Every structure is written in structure tokens, then in C-alpha cells.
């Protein structure tokens, strides 16, 4: 059942901003000042330097982890070890052999591409409203002076069903809605599978992990980055960490854009055919008592190519608490984060401006 009551699930709002896609259609040679970023110490590289071209995020083969019957094999334990190291040292990895069918990925990609190509009058019907950040627009815009990203996005809560905004869903193009439904189900399965393996690697009780994530909240952020006349001056998405448990990112186009901060350097994540990118969110860092890392990342833009991606955020159940796993704390002899309710946690997250989040995450807000 979808939700008719907006207030019940309203975790946040964002100021309404103009469409970047429409702006980019105007063959401009300079970007408006609101998109120009001077925070150069934060800026990633637009091309790979010698330093980072040798580094790449780990690739995990899920066939040997999730789809094998022999969890006693050395292949299984070596891949589990690889997953644990990736989550600990990178907070990011790509997954192959995830068993989401190529045809579903292709269909979903086609529908998302056409969605962003709809005429503006159609998209306007799905634009964010003042009281909610679901729909087309941007997120985390809290002041008229704030710099904006070179990106149009569509944000929607997809699971559980009772959190859905029925009005928004009913107005989605029917084929997109059908494919989104199938993709959302597959991503939930995948996220739960990976979380289950992480529980084993961390030594978290399997039942506790299931209680935390079985009926998790899932939302999707579809990103469209138009070509940008001054790519070195803009961000597609400003540096940030993700709030949820796990994020699963589908890079729809071959152009690069995602960059991950590793030991102070920005490392590009090259799209691999049929791979998905997975990253640890703040909640999973907290649940793991700080063992896994929710890492800063951003998206760059390009002068000639558009880029599209879909980030699916899978997080813990509503109504629960966000804190280190109970079964882990005795093993570590210390809880490195305090517990807050899920609602407190998310209301605080969406009320903050994105770059403030980087400064506060893990230190002021949640740590004890």
C-alpha cells in the first residue's frame, strides 16, 4: 500500500532550484556563478594522474560469495576476506556476477534515459514541492546563496511500500514504474545478501543483522549530468558520504565521473561492463562500530558527454535505532558511536547542507 499522508514520511525538503538540463540546452560558454566552485582543495582531478591511475577500487566476485553452495571452500573465504578488506580500507568496491539480469539493467537504463528526456512540461508535474524533496530537483539545498551541483536528479523513496508517495508513483511513465519496481526488488535482495556476508566477516550475529535490515528503507536517486561548458569549475555532485547502510550505484553511461577519496587522493571509479558499485554508508559504519568506512565521494562532469547514474540507498528498518551492533560491542569492549532513533538520524541528515555533512560526519553528530 502506498502512502497518502506526506507528513508521516517527510524526512526532508530542499529549496526548489532550476533545471540544469534546461540551462545546458542554451549553448552557454560560461556557467552561472551559482555553479562555479572555488573550493579547489576539495576538487577532484578531471583526468587520472600518474598517482591515481594505478589505484582502482576492488572488484568482488559475488558468484563465489552469494551464489555458491560451498561456504567452506577456500574460494569463498578468500572472497569474503576481500570484501572485508574492501569495506575496511576503501568503503567502496565494484561487484560482478551479481545475478541481476542484463536485460533488466538494459530496460531500466532505457527508461531512465527517456525519463530525463521528457519535455519540461511533463517533468514539471513531478518536480519537488516545497514540503518534500521527492521528485525532480536537487537535494540538500537550504539557502538561496548556496552553490549548486551541475546535475538534475529525481529522488524517490521506493521501499517499504507504505512509505511511497502514491501521487508521485502514479505519475511515473508506466514502463519506467514497472522496471523500477523490478530493479528495486533485485537491489533489495542484493543489498541484503551483501549485508549478510558483511555480518559474517565482522562477527555480527546473523539474526541481529536481519532484524536491522530485513525491512529496510530504500530510496533511489537518479542523476542526470548534462555536458558542462566549464567542467573544471563545477561539481556534478559535491563531495559527501552517504547516510544509509549500503549504496548500490548503477553507472548507466560509459563516461567516467564518480571519484572516491582514498588516502587523501581522488580515485576515479571506471564503469565496468555489468558491474555495480557498492559503498558503505554512515549507518553501516556505525553498525560495524567504525570498522567499515563510509567514504567521501563526488561526481565530476564533462564538457562533451552527458552522464547518468542511479544510486539506490538501502538502509535499516524504520522505527529501529541506529547504533553499533549489540553483538559486536562486547567483542570490541567499546561502543564508538551513540545510539539515536532512525527518525532523529534522518531528520538531522537531510536538514544539513551537503558540505557541512563532510565536516561533521562521524565526529560531532554520531560519535560519543
Ligand X SMILES: O=C(O)CCC(=O)C(=O)O
Tell me which residues touch ligand X (CB under 6 A). Answer: 221, 223, 237, 249, 257-258, 297, 299, 309, 311
Distance CA 300, CA 306 (A): 11
Q: What is the nearest approach in angstroms of ligand X to the Cβ of residue 39?
A: 17
The residue (of 209 and 277) whose beta carbon lies closer to ligand X is 277
Q: What is the nearest approach in angstroms of ligand X to the Cβ of residue 311?
A: 4
Q: What is the nearest approach in angstroms of ligand X to the Cβ of residue 334?
A: 31
Q: What is the nearest approach in angstroms of ligand X to the Cβ of residue 69?
A: 34
The CA-based angle 68-103-124, given to 5 degrees, is 125
SS3 call for 162: helix
The CA-based angle 352-358-360, given to 5 degrees, is 70
Is there a contact between 126 and 118 (Cβ–Cβ < 8 Å)?
no
The residue (of 153 and 201) whose beta carbon lies closer to ligand X is 153
* Plot region of 313 (φ>0 → left; ψ -120 to 50 → alpha; else → beta): beta
The residue (of 216 and 281) whose beta carbon lies closer to ligand X is 281
The residue (of 44 and 323) whose beta carbon lies closer to ligand X is 44
The residue (of 65 and 277) whose beta carbon lies closer to ligand X is 277
3-state secondary structure 13-76: CCCCCCCHHHHHCCCCCCCCHHHCCCCHHHCCCCCCCHHHHCCCCCEEECHHHHCCCCCCCHHH
Q: What is the nearest approach in angstroms of ligand X to the Cβ of residue 261?
A: 12
Q: What is the nearest approach in angstroms of ligand X to the Cβ of residue 140?
A: 10
At residue 200, φ and ψ (nearest 5 deg) are -65, -45
The residue (of 179 and 261) whose beta carbon lies closer to ligand X is 261
Lookup result for grid cell 537550504? 142
The residue (of 261 and 297) whose beta carbon lies closer to ligand X is 297
Q: What is the nearest approach in angstroms of ligand X to the Cβ of residue 11?
A: 15
Type and span of the H or E element at 239: strand 237-240
Local structure of residue 350 (DSSP, 8 states):
H
What are the angstrom distances between the C-alpha of 83 and each of 64, 76, 215, 261, 328?
11, 11, 23, 18, 18
Amino acid at each position: 500500500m502506498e502512502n497518502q499522508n506526506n507528513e508521516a514520511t517527510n524526512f526532508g525538503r530542499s529549496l526548489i532550484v532550476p533545471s540544469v538540463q534546461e540551462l545546458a540546452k542554451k549553448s552557454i560558454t560560461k556557467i552561472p556563478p551559482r555553479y562555479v566552485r572555488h573550493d579547489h582543495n576539495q576538487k577532484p582531478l578531471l583526468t587520472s594522474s600518474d598517482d591515481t591511475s594505478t589505484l582502482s577500487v576492488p572488484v568482488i566476485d559475488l558468484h563465489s560469495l552469494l551464489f555458491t553452495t560451498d561456504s567452506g571452500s577456500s574460494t569463498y573465504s578468500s572472497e569474503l576476506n576481500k570484501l572485508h578488506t574492501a569495506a575496511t580500507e576503501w568503503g567502496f568496491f565494484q561487484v560482478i556476477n551479481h545475478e541481476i539480469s542484463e536485460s533488466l539493467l538494459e530496460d531500466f537504463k532505457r527508461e531512465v534515459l527517456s525519463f530525463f528526456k521528457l519535455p519540461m512540461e511533463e517533468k514539471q508535474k513531478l518536480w519537488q514541492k516545497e514540503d518534500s524533496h521527492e521528485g525532480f530537483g536537487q537535494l540538500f539545498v537550504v539557502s538561496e546563496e548556496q552553490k549548486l551541483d551541475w546535475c538534475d536528479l529525481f529522488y524517490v523513496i521506493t521501499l517499504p511500500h507504505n512509505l511511497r508517495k502514491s501521487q508521485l508513483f502514479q505519475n511515473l511513465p508506466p514502463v519506467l514504474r514497472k522496471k523500477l519496481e523490478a530493479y528495486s526488488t533485485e537491489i533489495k535482495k542484493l543489498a541484503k545478501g551483501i549485508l549478510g556476508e558483511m555480518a559474517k566477516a565482522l562477527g555480527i550475529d546473523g539474526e541481529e543483522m536481519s532484524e536491522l535490515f530485513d525491512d529496510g528503507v530504500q530510496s533511489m536517486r537518479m542523476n542526470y549530468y548534462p555536458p558542462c561548458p566549464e567542467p573544471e569549475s563545477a561539481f556534478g555532485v559535491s563531495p559527501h558520504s552517504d547516510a544509509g547502510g549500503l549504496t548500490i550505484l548503477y553507472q548507466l553511461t560509459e563516461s567516467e565521473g564518480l571519484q572516491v577519496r582514498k588516502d587523501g587522493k581522488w580515485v576515479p571509479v571506471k564503469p565496468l561492463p555489468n558491474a555495480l558499485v557498492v559503498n558503505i554508508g554512515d549507518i553501516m559504519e556505525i553498525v560495524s562500530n567504525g570498522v567499515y568506512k563510509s567514504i567521501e565521494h563526488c561526481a565530476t562532469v564533462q564538457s562533451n558527454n552527458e552522464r547518468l547514474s542511479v544510486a539506490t540507498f538501502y538502509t535499516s528498518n524504520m522505527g529501529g535505532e541506529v547504533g553499533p551492533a549489540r553483538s559486536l560491542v562486547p567483542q570490541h569492549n567499546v561502543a564508538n558511536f551513540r545510539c539515536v532513533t532512525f527518525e532523529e538520524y534522518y531528520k538531522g541528515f537531510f536538514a544539513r547542507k551537503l558540505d557541512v555533512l563532510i565536516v561533521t560526519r562521524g565526529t560531532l553528530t554520531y560519535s560519543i
